[in-house]
Amino acid sequence: MTVTLTTREAIARAAGALFEQHGYTGTSVRAVAAEAGVDPALVIRHFGSKEKLFLDTMDLQGHFGGATLGPLEELGERLVATLLGPGRDVRLSAYRAMVRATDSELVRARLLDALEEMFVGPLTPRLPGPHAELRARLIGAQVAGLLDQMALVEDPVLVSVDPDLLTRTYGAAIQALVGVPDPTGGPVS
């Protein structure tokens, strides 16, 4: 059975691939239209602008799925394992494209929304101890830091290190922010 894409789907698929490959500034509406086999006017008709097309096709939220769910005792390693697991290259490309387009106010707002949806919203009510929202934001910042080093800087050690070692090591650093209250009443560790 042959599946036929709608014009909007064909444009979105072409745009997603080109944005991941060439970034926001390196991708033109004409290139998207050519890749999708449509007139450039249809790209604007369906999406309104190149910026809106970019925002509609570059999705970070879906890349972490349910990684914030499950036992808190394993959260740090689970987040890193999700980042490094299947689809790693797509996640890194999507992140790279989004960060490189942050001169756009709409893109910056989308990145903040992604932080809220992926980390702050799901984790704040689950984290024990004081300053749960702050720690949820810092967990998101730690994940973003690893993404920066791998997707933007392309740190040769981080991109080539054994994924299990990186998961254990960086997962432990993230886990420190999860915090579990000390039963003796001491500080969150």
Judge whether 76 lies within some domain.
yes
Residues 90 and 164 in one domain: yes
- Total number of residues shown for the chain: 189
159 burial type by CB count under 10 A (0-12 exposed, 13-18 middle, 19+ buried): middle
Question: Higher pLDDT residue, 157 or 180?
Answer: 157
pLDDT tens sequence across 116-173: 888 899 999 999 989 999 999 999 999 999 999 998 899 999 999 999 999 999 999 9
Q: Do 84 and 172 share a domain, yes or no?
A: yes
Asked whether residue 101 falls in the same domain as residue 52, the answer is: no
User: Does residue 158 belong to any structural domain of this protein?
Assistant: yes
Given this model, what pLDDT does residue 90 score? 75
End-to-end CA distance of the chain: 56
Q: Pick 62 or 105 by higher pLDDT.
A: 105
- Classify residue 53 as exposed, middle or buried by CB count within 10 Å of its CB (0-12, 13-18, 19+): buried
* Domain encompassing residue 119: 61-178
Supply 1's token pair. 């059975």
Q: Which of 108, 102, 104, 92 is nearest to 148 (CA)?
A: 92
Contacts of 33 (CB under 8 A, 6+ apart): 11, 14, 39, 40, 42, 43
Distance of alpha carbon 157 from alpha carbon 116, whole angstroms: 30
Q: How many independent structural domains does the chain possess?
A: 2
With residues binned 3-state (H G I as helix, E B as strand, rest as coil), the percentages for the chain, rounded to 5, are 70, 0, 30
pLDDT in tens, 89-100: 877 877 787 787
Q: How confident is the model at residue 188 (pLDDT cuts 50, 70, 90)?
A: very low
